[in-house]
Amino acid sequence: MTPSPTLILYGVQLRSRLMLGTSQYPSPVVLAEAARASGAEILTVSLRRESARLKEGQDFWKLIRDIGARVLPNTAGCYSVKEAVTTAQMAREVFGTPWVKLEVIGEADTLQPDVFGLVEAARILSADGFEVFPYTTDDLVVADRLVEAGCKVLMPWGSPIGSGKGLNNVFGLRALRAHFPDIPLVVDAGLGLPSQAAAAMELGYDGVLLNTAVAKAGDPVAMARAFGQAIEAGRAAFLAGPMEPRDMAAPSTPVVGKAVLT
């Protein structure tokens, strides 16, 4: 596969490989400044959370429109196939987009996806014309079933949502990249530091989606900018072709012409 200089998701060409969540920010102003500083062209929005804003809703949508980013609605907080499908259908009406970040949560403490429900919901939504971005684990079999269900993007977790632990299973993420060379792969959830985002990109991943690490930072705007820079650096390193690690040292200074003492 020849890496594309731009990210293409469901036929949409993007310059930025960072996707940013919109929850937990200190204020709408900080959210807007962080989004612009990051360079992100996709913002994820929870239909449930924004529906609860009531009168604040119109101001929020104006803010999103002013930022100029594409909205990726998500089904956050859904624990069943029916709930996720219904939420996605409502989001399509509200946002006017077939895109949906599909979440079907199976375990409350880790927010680990219910992969069985996820595949079922992905199949239903894909058949209904949705362009599905599934939040999944790093399981190869599940990933294959999601592709069979119609998903043209896969979003495996780095670690549990909001944990900041980074890439818990580098082997699994590397295996996914090797098995799906032509499917856009985006690490979604669990990243806490720009270095972790760079590490994901160095594995050959196509993008990163995060929220808490920026929203809860001491300076969200500066952190958003740092993540944007780290993702660019990680992608550049991957394209440059990193050296293979070695168990033994390899001298960087040639020994030819070195004096030999007897």
Model pLDDT for residues 169-198, shown as the tens digit of each residue: 999 999 999 999 999 999 999 999 999 999
Mean pLDDT (whole number) for 71-83: 94
Q: Strands (DSSP E) along the chain, which ranges?
A: 7-9, 12-14, 18-21, 42-46, 70-74, 99-102, 131-136, 155-156, 186-188, 207-210
Amino acid in position 202: E
DSSP state of 245: P
Tell me what pLDDT residue 196 has: 97
Q: Residue 2: is its pLDDT beyond 60?
A: no
Whether residue 57 has pLDDT greater than 60 = no
**CB burial of residue 181 (10 Å; 0-12, 13-18, 19+):** exposed
**Location of structure tokens 């499908």:** 85
Distance of CA 230 to the CA centre of its chain: 14
User: Residue 52: what pLDDT?
Assistant: 45
Is 82 a known active-site residue? no
The one-letter code for the residue type at 191 is L
Scan for tokens 């669990």, then name that residue.
190
Q: What angle do CA 85, 128, 99 make, to 5 degrees?
A: 70
Beta strands 18-21 and 12-14 are unpaired
Instruction: List, in order, residues 6 or more apart from 61 with CB less than 8 Å away.
Output: none
Mean per-residue pLDDT, 51-72: 70
Active-site residue identified among 55, 62, 82, 101: 101
